[in-house]
Amino acid sequence: MKLTKLRHSCVRLEREGRTLVIDPGAFSEADAGLGADALLVTHEHPDHFEEGRLRAALDANPAAGLWTLRSVAERLAPAYPGRVHTVGHGDAFSAAGFEVEVHGELHAVIHPDIPQITNVGFLVDGSLFHPGDALTLPGRPVDTLMLPVHAPWNKISEVIDYVREVAPRQAVDIHDAYLADLARPIYDGQIGALGGAAHSRLTPGETTQL
């Protein structure tokens, strides 16, 4: 399976001629969802969900489908009958030849005065886990953890402990658009040294084979 890191929290997975894209939000490339056979969205915040990008992808490929939580699905289901699927914690489904499990229910706490919204994470082919905006434990071994490295709702000690708890073979940064280049070496060094797993970051458009 080939992983392509797009901007912020968006990733593209390709296997056997099929393409799955997770979280083509407003911070990702304008064409982030184009070419996808399946699209997954973890939650409704605009840096993960941008309606125009999803509509463009669904319009470009009439066979493509979207799997997401209710708050996003209800925005698009009327325009794409039978192609938008509502999922939640504990669900499992096949999407464009990829086997996907859904883990998690709530977005991480930003501040106690801000109500928590729903957030789901996606485990793809039992191998790669994208948690969205939460430090959800998938409850099973993970080869590749897409790691939300910097957000208004986390701090580096929590990120390090999350890598330790999941114990993947490798952690690859996502949710990184807010992180200045000046701080990158600090995060790379501390997560790599203390997380207990191989840690790397990909520049937008860079690929790696899983």
Q: Per residue in 48-74, pLDDT tens?
A: 999 999 999 999 999 999 999 999 999
210 located within any domain:
no
Query: How many domains does the structure of the chain reveal?
Result: 1
Establish if 181 belongs to a structural domain.
yes
Does residue 113 lie in a domain region?
A: yes
Name residue 14's amino acid: E
Q: CATH number, domain at 175?
A: 3.60.15.10
Question: Is residue 207 a part of any domain in this protein?
Answer: no
Q: Is residue 51 part of a domain?
A: yes
Write out the residue range of the structural domain in which residue 42 sits: 2-201
pTM given for the model = 0.97
**What pLDDT score was predicted for residue 12?**
98
Residue 33 lies in a domain: yes
Q: What is the pLDDT of residues 187-203, one digit of tens each?
A: 999 999 999 999 999 99
Whether 206 is covered by a domain: the verdict is no
Tell me what the mean pLDDT of segment 38-45 comes to: 98
CA distance 100 to 129: 10
For residues 83-106, average pLDDT: 98
The whole-number pLDDT of residue 151 equals 97
Q: Measuring CA to CA, which residue among 151, 143, 164 is closest to residue 43?
A: 151
Element (H, E) at 100: strand 98-103
Going by C-alpha positions, the residue among 90, 91, 146, 89 that lies closest to residue 120 is 89
User: Is position 70 within any domain?
Assistant: yes
Task: Report pLDDT for 121.
Answer: 98
Query: What's the pLDDT at 203?
Result: 95
* Type of residue found at 47: D
